[in-house]
A and B are shown apart, each in its own frame.
Chain A
Amino acid sequence: MSDITVKINSQECKAQEGEYILNVARANGIFIPAICYLTRCSPTLACRICLVEADGKQVYACNAKVKNGMNIETVTENILKERRAIMEVYDVNHPLQCGVCDQSGSCELQNYTLELGVDSQTYSIADTVRESKNWSSVLHYDAGLCIVCERCVTVCKDMIGDSAIKTTARGGEALDKSYKDTMPKDAYAMWNKLQKSVIAPSNGTEQTNCSDCGECVAVCPVGALVSRDFVYTTNAWELNRIPATCAHCSSGCHIYYETKPTSISNREEKIYRVTNEWNYMSLCGAGRFGYDFENTNVSKDEKAFALAIEAFKKAQTIRFNATITNEEALMLQTLKEKLGVKLVNDEVRAFQKFLNAYSDASGKSLYGSDFKELMNSDFIISVGSILRKDNPNARYVFNNVQKMNKGAGLYFHPIGDTVIPTFGKSVETFNHKVGLEEAVCYLILDLFAPKDKLSDEVKDYIESFKDGDTNGLVELLGKDSAKFKASFDKMMGKKSSFGLMVGEDFFYHEKSENLAKLIALIEEVTPLNIAFIPPKSNALGVSLICELDDEATGYTIGYNENGDFKLSALGDGNLDIPALNQQEGTLTNMNKKVVPTNSALEYNGYELNDIMKALFDVPRLAIDWTAYLPVDKGFMSHEFDSLPNHYTNAGVELRGYSLVKFTREANEIKVDRFDEKAILEGDIVCRANPQRQFSDFTDKAHQINEAFGLYVSDAKSKSIGTSKAEISFGDERLILDVMVDDRMEGDIVALPDFQSKHNVYGLFGTSRYKIVTIKGV
């Protein structure tokens, strides 16, 4: 990758070797029409409208790479002819229903039709009946409007990884032969393909049965794919777009809340949908559809407020979770410093310990890489994370590496998943026994560490597993070592950058300290770039800002958690507080960025800062705290209002700022051996949420309907045999509905933690897995 210069329409443009012409043009503010191309996905050449002339030859800007000194013309007479013909073709039989269409006003078909001045039609063909269908609980597909640009198919395959939709036969008439000679060439080719296809679920049924992320809806240039809840409820231009940050998981995705008054009689703003910059950032179903978790109808309840002040004065513990802004976390930390309360956070504590252990061992305050960088690697490894459920964007990264960088991947997790192996041909999955996470690390060391960099002790330990050609570590983790060796050698071919993502299993682990050291060692001696997946929303921010305690004692205040006095944004507490879509502030995401979020909805009640004001002399607004976030932990003293929150045309993310990373001299990393006796055997339950559920807030949203229950694989549900099961953790037992997750494999069952009322963290303690007894009832 080196800097080169090209000329586009005689304008000098800097570019990187290997970039597509289209992206260079966009970064330099030069317009080239393009419909089917998605940044970060592979070009499909469905629309062909991006034709340009490069050094005298017609090429497609979205898949032709720039070369040094190239001369590019974006408009020639022939190109204009092609483009006009392409737009005419798109308009053939397109229903004249912009008047009711949801995309009208932001429709790329409208825009390009106008841009190219299409005011008459030359072509025609008999139309085919194309019906609209509901593909899932959120997807509404109107085949009549579809222009078969395949953007939905592409994003679902290259980014999301579900590959849940594909093109299928339309059953339309064949094009009239005479067009072949009379039409511009590319327009004909594009029409020929268009006329043959529509989009349908790729499993051959009427239902996609997919992750319901809604990313296909976001990328659709026309009104063909719309979310079922949104269809015909409002026009795009009536909506206010509020740039914000999604509050549900540690990805901290950039989103826009789109609001308008609720109804004619109720003029209060309501969120109608969430949109995103889909060229640069992909959302999951929770972010896109789980937006209505606001705390409604709140007014200033002075009595409750007075009680809250009393409660804070006598509190000994504050229990909270990770769905909280950095500013609120700082306020709680201030309470700890001034009043000596304990801060208890089950969602973050284990992660904080892991991070500290890692820092102690490595001398680095934060993990070295981030998911942006991992996305550019060509070999990616995931350990300790149920990728599909824990963090959607980590999973998109894993998938995107396979699809876009001709990458390879290793996936280590006790729970089998049918989706991961479909990400690419070079993905190897290890469904190892619970308790062998350290063995995973040793295998990674064995595979990637140059032998001279390892201490003799570690080297000998790793060697002790080998017996001739058999690698005992591979066998221990459940694979045939000869077979694995062969495929691993193939996977390593032509690979140059390597990434490792570390998930929640490692934090909630009896041996988490040793695991942290092993990860630090891997980072030091192997070429792997490492990033952690913080367990919940703002876990990273909280772990940096707050000094957390292990145990709650005495009178406890619950901040969105259970307690003797409960402050709740869910409306079920003693005092109401605003939810994250009613609040300004910053969040720290897994890319180690401090990103701002804005309030989309009105809130008239009290917030934490009001309590702070009543107790101490503190700033007037919650966002005044932003500049005081702890600098020694990597935060910067920037005012909230100075933080940007958008992407540029070149795809540069201008959101907040990056945490500063500190390094100091570290001693040699000493790691412990693992103990095979730690393997869990028997009926095992794992603490894991269904996709799209993260917390009480996602659960509150009306479009997120994954229920609280015991999630099991198909096979396991057959062996349980009933629709309800009793699961007992020693004395505690729960009776839950058995839910089949047909993408899960194996016998381990998953118990969600998104409803705080069940106190699931209490059942699991410091680990993520437990041996339980499960019986059908």
Chain B
Amino acid sequence: MSLEQFKDRNVGVQNYRQLDLPQSPTTAMCKVKQVAKRSLKGELFVGLGVTVREMVSTLFGKGLHTTQYPFEKLPISPRYRAIHEMLRLLESGNYRCIGCGLCEKICISNCISMETRYDENQRKEVSAYTINFGRCIFCGYCAEVCPELAIVHGGRYETASEQRASFSLFEDMLTPIDQLSLQQEYQGFGAVSPNADDNIKKTPLAY
């Protein structure tokens, strides 16, 4: 096999900016001075102060900040990228995925795999779909590339399981049909931007 593909490291346009850092100490004396200056500045106590203040206010004032996980769970940001979900069309209940294969192509860890076929209605049907979560790095590319907003990241971040293959089939990820009314539109990576309408050029139509 040729090594060509490994030699091209020009991944993006790399425009890093150097921070304005002061000069690092060079002589031994300078180093000692810097250590002394940093240790004696008293910043340590600022931190301690915050802790004590919070402790006092918790004990005698506002009550506990601890969440009793796993009995209690905090709401998670819609932009968090956890286990994938496959959404359905709200009107018909059909799944949104059209089997275009873009998620399979873009997946950076090559962990999506799918089978499609020509179905009885002359349409492309996704006959099997899987994500290997043992390999997925939750990068969100699949959700971003999906033209149908079909594959999205859900909020289910507990991924410990007895076997890697868990959650990985189409049916596992698909919104259960009886919970269609609870299906939330995804707000994260790849979702329609609020000003999407402004960016559309109209195409003339003859009818």
B100 CB to nearest A CB, Å: 4
A113-128 at interface with B (beta carbon < 8 Å)? 119-127
- Residue A553 is within 8 A (CB to CB) of chain B in the complex: no
Pairwise interchain contact B105-A237, C-beta atoms closer than 8 A: yes
Pairwise interchain contact A235-B101, C-beta atoms closer than 8 A: yes
Chain A proximity mask over B110-151: 1 for CB below 8 Å, otherwise 0: 000111111000111100101000000000000000011000
Q: What is A's interface to B at a CB cutoff of 8 Å?
A: 98-100, 104, 119-127, 132, 173, 231-235, 237-238, 261, 263-264
What are the residues of chain A within 8 A of B114 when measuring CB–CB? 264
Pairwise interchain contact A232-B99, C-beta atoms closer than 8 A: yes
Pairwise interchain contact A100-B99, C-beta atoms closer than 8 A: yes
Pairwise interchain contact B124-A124, C-beta atoms closer than 8 A: no
What are the residues of chain A within 8 A of B122 when measuring CB–CB? 132
Closest B residue by C-beta to A105: B105
Known: A121-B203, A263-B128, A264-B130. A238 touches B117 (CB 8 A): no
Pairwise interchain contact B128-A232, C-beta atoms closer than 8 A: no
Pairwise interchain contact B115-A124, C-beta atoms closer than 8 A: no
What are the residues of chain B within 8 A of A127 when measuring CB–CB? 206-207
Roughly how many angstroms separate A449 CA and B144 CA in the complex, as a whole number?
Answer: 74
Known: A238-B104, A264-B113. A100 touches B203 (CB 8 A): no
Pairwise interchain contact B205-A124, C-beta atoms closer than 8 A: yes
- Residue B201 is within 8 A (CB to CB) of chain A in the complex: yes
Pairwise interchain contact B204-A233, C-beta atoms closer than 8 A: no
- Residue B98 is within 8 A (CB to CB) of chain A in the complex: yes
Pairwise interchain contact A121-B204, C-beta atoms closer than 8 A: yes
Q: List 8 A-B contacts (CB under 8 A).
A: A98-B100, A99-B102, A99-B147, A122-B204, A124-B203, A261-B113, A263-B115, A264-B113
Pairwise interchain contact B101-A232, C-beta atoms closer than 8 A: no
Chain A proximity mask over B143-186: 1 for CB below 8 Å, otherwise 0: 00001100000000000000000000000000000000000000
Pairwise interchain contact A99-B98, C-beta atoms closer than 8 A: yes
What are the residues of chain A within 8 A of B128 when measuring CB–CB? 263-264
What are the residues of chain A within 8 A of B117 when measuring CB–CB? 232-233
Pairwise interchain contact A124-B104, C-beta atoms closer than 8 A: no
Looking at A125, A132, A263, A264, which has the most chain B CB atoms within 10 Å of its CB?
A264
Pairwise interchain contact A119-B201, C-beta atoms closer than 8 A: yes
- The A interface, classified by DSSP as helix, strand, loop or mixed, is loop
Pairwise interchain contact B203-A120, C-beta atoms closer than 8 A: yes
B72-112 at interface with A (beta carbon < 8 Å)? 98-102, 104-105
B173 CB to nearest A CB, Å: 14
Known: A100-B98, A231-B118, A235-B101. A124 touches B148 (CB 8 A): no
B101 CB to nearest A CB, Å: 4
What are the residues of chain A within 8 A of B102 when measuring CB–CB? 99
Roughly how many angstroms separate A598 CA and B113 CA in the complex, as a whole number?
Answer: 26
B192 CB to nearest A CB, Å: 17
Roughly how many angstroms separate A529 CA and B207 CA in the complex, as a whole number?
Answer: 61
Known: A124-B205, A232-B124, A263-B128. A99 touches B148 (CB 8 A): yes
B59-74 at interface with A (beta carbon < 8 Å)? none
A32 CB to nearest B CB, Å: 28
Closest B residue by C-beta to A231: B118
Q: Which 3 residue pairs are nearest across A and B when measured between Cβ atoms?
A: A99-B100, A100-B124, A124-B204
What are the residues of chain B within 8 A of A231 when measuring CB–CB? 118
Roughly how many angstroms separate A233 CA and B99 CA in the complex, as a whole number?
Answer: 10
Pairwise interchain contact A100-B104, C-beta atoms closer than 8 A: no
What are the residues of chain B within 8 A of A100 when measuring CB–CB? 98-100, 123-124
Pairwise interchain contact A120-B207, C-beta atoms closer than 8 A: no
Chain A proximity mask over B29-65: 1 for CB below 8 Å, otherwise 0: 0000000000000000000000000000000000000
A567 CB to nearest B CB, Å: 32
Known: A99-B100, A100-B98, A100-B100. A232 touches B118 (CB 8 A): yes
One of B118, B124, B204 near A123 (C-beta < 8 A):
B204
What are the residues of chain A within 8 A of B98 when measuring CB–CB? 99-100
| With A127-B206, A231-B118, A232-B117 already in contact, 11 other A-B pairs whose C-beta atoms are closer than 8 Å | A99-B102, A100-B123, A100-B124, A119-B201, A121-B204, A125-B206, A232-B116, A232-B118, A235-B104, A237-B101, A238-B104
Roughly how many angstroms separate A126 CA and B205 CA in the complex, as a whole number?
Answer: 8
What are the residues of chain B within 8 A of A132 when measuring CB–CB? 122
What are the residues of chain A within 8 A of B130 when measuring CB–CB? 264
What are the residues of chain A within 8 A of B204 when measuring CB–CB? 121-124
Pairwise interchain contact A124-B206, C-beta atoms closer than 8 A: yes
Roughly how many angstroms separate A127 CA and B113 CA in the complex, as a whole number?
Answer: 36
Looking at A99, A119, A263, which has the most chain B CB atoms within 10 Å of its CB?
A99
What are the residues of chain A within 8 A of B125 when measuring CB–CB? 232
A336 CB to nearest B CB, Å: 39
One of A120, A124, A232 near B201 (C-beta < 8 A):
A120
What are the residues of chain B within 8 A of A98 when measuring CB–CB? 100
Closest B residue by C-beta to A229: B118
Roughly how many angstroms separate A173 CA and B115 CA in the complex, as a whole number?
Answer: 39
B55 CB to nearest A CB, Å: 54
Closest B residue by C-beta to A122: B204
What are the residues of chain A within 8 A of B101 when measuring CB–CB? 234-235, 237-238
Looking at B102, B128, B147, B148, which has the most chain A CB atoms within 10 Å of its CB?
B102
B146 CB to nearest A CB, Å: 10
What are the residues of chain A within 8 A of B116 when measuring CB–CB? 232-234
Roughly how many angstroms separate A98 CA and B205 CA in the complex, as a whole number?
Answer: 20
Roughly how many angstroms separate A132 CA and B102 CA in the complex, as a whole number?
Answer: 25
Pairwise interchain contact B124-A235, C-beta atoms closer than 8 A: no
A192 CB to nearest B CB, Å: 16
Roughly how many angstroms separate A264 CA and B116 CA in the complex, as a whole number?
Answer: 11
One of B104, B123, B206 near A126 (C-beta < 8 A):
B206
Roughly how many angstroms separate A127 CA and B206 CA in the complex, as a whole number?
Answer: 8
Closest A residue by C-beta to B168: A264
What are the residues of chain A within 8 A of B124 when measuring CB–CB? 100, 232
Closest A residue by C-beta to B203: A121
Roughly how many angstroms separate A232 CA and B99 CA in the complex, as a whole number?
Answer: 9
Roughly how many angstroms separate A173 CA and B100 CA in the complex, as a whole number?
Answer: 32
Closest B residue by C-beta to A125: B206
What are the residues of chain B within 8 A of A104 when measuring CB–CB? 100
Pairwise interchain contact A264-B115, C-beta atoms closer than 8 A: yes
Roughly how many angstroms separate A237 CA and B117 CA in the complex, as a whole number?
Answer: 16
A179 CB to nearest B CB, Å: 12
Roughly how many angstroms separate A238 CA and B104 CA in the complex, as a whole number?
Answer: 9
Roughly how many angstroms separate A494 CA and B203 CA in the complex, as a whole number?
Answer: 55
What are the residues of chain A within 8 A of B115 when measuring CB–CB? 263-264
What are the residues of chain A within 8 A of B201 when measuring CB–CB? 119-120
A510 CB to nearest B CB, Å: 53
A718 CB to nearest B CB, Å: 39
Closest A residue by C-beta to B116: A232
B111 CB to nearest A CB, Å: 12
Looking at B116, B118, B147, which has the most chain A CB atoms within 10 Å of its CB?
B118
Looking at B101, B117, B122, B201, which has the most chain A CB atoms within 10 Å of its CB?
B101
Roughly how many angstroms separate A237 CA and B101 CA in the complex, as a whole number?
Answer: 10
Roughly how many angstroms separate A173 CA and B207 CA in the complex, as a whole number?
Answer: 12
Roughly how many angstroms separate A121 CA and B147 CA in the complex, as a whole number?
Answer: 21
Roughly how many angstroms separate A104 CA and B102 CA in the complex, as a whole number?
Answer: 11
Closest A residue by C-beta to B97: A99
Roughly how many angstroms separate A100 CA and B114 CA in the complex, as a whole number?
Answer: 13
